[in-house]
Structure 1
């Protein structure tokens, strides 16, 4: 480990040792990396004798992750529903901005609350007192493995499966370029601790609901191709959602975006879903991360935009037609060669 890592790992550990009551949270619409990193950190902090509170954020706990050990320790509360003054330390995991803590109400930290941000998104705004942002790691779960190792923590089965699923999900089942040799070495160590991880992976990969398949079918039936089919959007209006009684929680932009990216020849793709009138959620993907950085597009065009080079998201507060035009404009501005 390099000196910079050693120093920040030590600073984080010192802050934990100096704290009695610690808060953790999951970001809105939590994925396996969000849930896995929170549950693994909760387990480690509990081993250290800390009083730990975990909150879910703006969303419900995902049903397909209820098989993870101790998932019931995550309370179905929002940041606005707790008193942050009760805590000494808030460890903010897998969240690139304050809006990833909550979008329901402005997030304000009391002066008495120390904040530590641990994340792998390169668009992180570094809003904590201590910020450990490692965009070279595949996931926040991978970062936590490195921290736990540096702290001399014995990783048990419960911690191992939470970290393993977080890494598996954020690497697309090891299909994405962020699955480095170091990542796979870590996975090898974790799978040795929890060799019967296959059931969790199966549940993760096979958890679709009929409504989600309907949503995917709707998206694929509304394909818009631009620039000789190098840029492709799937477009779903709010009327489409309401007529089929589909809620915005079922909109599955990530699944749609990943499906679009799987098509050969479609270089830069986006799923646009008008979750509410004049509110369009966008999931961006690219097949060519060496030439295109969709996080730049997401950060430039919408509110709370960001993510990774190959996968990013944002929200555009415009009517659907204007959102499409604006997105095309930003893409052509950043990458005129696509036109």
Structure 2
């Protein structure tokens, strides 16, 4: 537990206790850290006897996270579909910018609604009334666990599995550079509370839709090499998705991780035009100290993330977006050489 969490925990709890109605959200294309953090916090607030509404946000609920308990608590609405005037506190989890609250419309915060930002991304802009942003943590779920300990909230089995999956996935199965002894210690504590985690991991990792496999095949057959083969990009335009009948929700799998598993391919990019003029970009790197991909994600489009794994959305035509991205990478990482 860091000094920052120890300092901020009572301030956040004080604001929570003063609030009558609290809002939480999942970021677009939510992962296990986003959903797990939101569900665990929702359950904790309900234990405190507080009124809380948690919205799913812009995207559909991912099939591989059906295993998470109480996912039915998430209201299937995005930020613009709710009356924000009803809430006096908005707890924003795992979102480095307001653009991560919703990408469908400008996110406006009413004057009566206080905001608490809790996140571990180095790219976080600290845009809340209270900001608990600690990039030394592997996952937002890990910060939430430490907050619960400071608040004296009992972590039950359901909360534990939500937090464990967030920690497990954002650490890349405990193998990303951000993984520390404390990451493993928190994971062990959560596993003590709910020893059923092997089954949960298995169900999450083996719940693919046939369209995901179809997309992986399409992406891996669309590889383009740049910078003398040091950077590889699975570049899939909207026309190919439409031709294969693949829905955009099935394009955010592990393609980037597959690309950097190849020796010599230093940076892997999943580059897919999910809708005409809307390009989703996912970055992975073998050496995050040398090539911090969160820099690229925060410089182009609306994105952010971690040094080793990041993402962004570029609102430009496919080829224009690709050119902008490659030029940005060339300027940021001159060691790669010419495009």
Q: TM-score range by the shorter chain?
A: over 0.9
* 3-state SS in 2 of match to 1:175: coil
Partner of 1:22: 22
Partner of 1:211: 211
TM-score (norm 1): 0.96
Instruction: Spell out, residue by residue over 1:149-175, the C-alpha distance to the aligned partner (whole angstroms, 9 max, x if none).
Output: 111211111111110011011111111
- Offset, 1:41: 0.4
* 3-state SS in 2 of match to 1:126: coil
Instruction: Spell out, residue by residue over 1:89-110, the C-alpha distance to the aligned partner (whole angstroms, 9 max, x if none).
Output: 1111111111211112221111
Partner of 1:76: 76
* Superposition RMSD in Å: 1.3
Instruction: Spell out, residue by residue over 1:242-292, the C-alpha distance to the aligned partner (whole angstroms, 9 max, x if none).
Output: 11111222222x521121122121001211112222322211111001111
Instruction: Spell out, residue by residue over 1:9-29, the C-alpha distance to the aligned partner (whole angstroms, 9 max, x if none).
Output: 111010011112111111111
Instruction: Spell out, residue by residue over 1:138-193, the C-alpha distance to the aligned partner (whole angstroms, 9 max, x if none).
Output: 11100001111111211111111110011011111111111110010001111011
TM-score (norm 2): 0.96
User: Does the C-alpha gap of structure 1 residues 186 and 43 become closer, same or farther in structure 2, counting only changes over 3 Å?
Assistant: same
Q: How many residues align?
A: 337
Partner of 2:245: 245
Partner of 1:267: 266
Distance 2:52 2:297 in 1: 34
- Offset, 1:5: 2.8
* 3-state SS in 2 of match to 1:284: strand
Partner of 1:309: 307
Q: 1:88-103 to 2 correspondence within 5 Å?
A: 88-103=88-103
Moved more, 318-327 or 125-134: 318-327
Structure 1 regions of 5+ residues with no counterpart? none
Partner of 1:58: 58
- Offset, 1:236: 0.5
Distance 1:247 1:208 in 2: 14
Instruction: Spell out, residue by residue over 1:20-64, the C-alpha distance to the aligned partner (whole angstroms, 9 max, x if none).
Output: 211111111111111110111011111111011111001122222
User: Is 2:58 the partner of 1:67?
Assistant: no
Partner of 2:333: 335
Partner of 1:278: 277
* 3-state SS in 1 of match to 2:67: coil
Distance 2:81 2:243 in 1: 33
Q: 1:326 aligns with which of 307, 321, 324?
A: 324
Q: 1:128-143 to 2 correspondence within 5 Å?
A: 128-143=128-143
Distance 1:67 1:276 in 2: 29
CA contact (8 A) 2:22 2:53 kept: yes
* 3-state SS in 2 of match to 1:295: helix
Structure 2 regions of 5+ residues with no counterpart? none
Moved more, 101-110 or 3-12: 3-12
- Offset, 1:328: 1.7
Distance 1:230 1:54 in 2: 42
Instruction: Spell out, residue by residue over 1:115-154, the C-alpha distance to the aligned partner (whole angstroms, 9 max, x if none).
Output: 1010111111111111111111111100001111111211
Partner of 2:127: 127
* 3-state SS in 2 of match to 1:271: strand
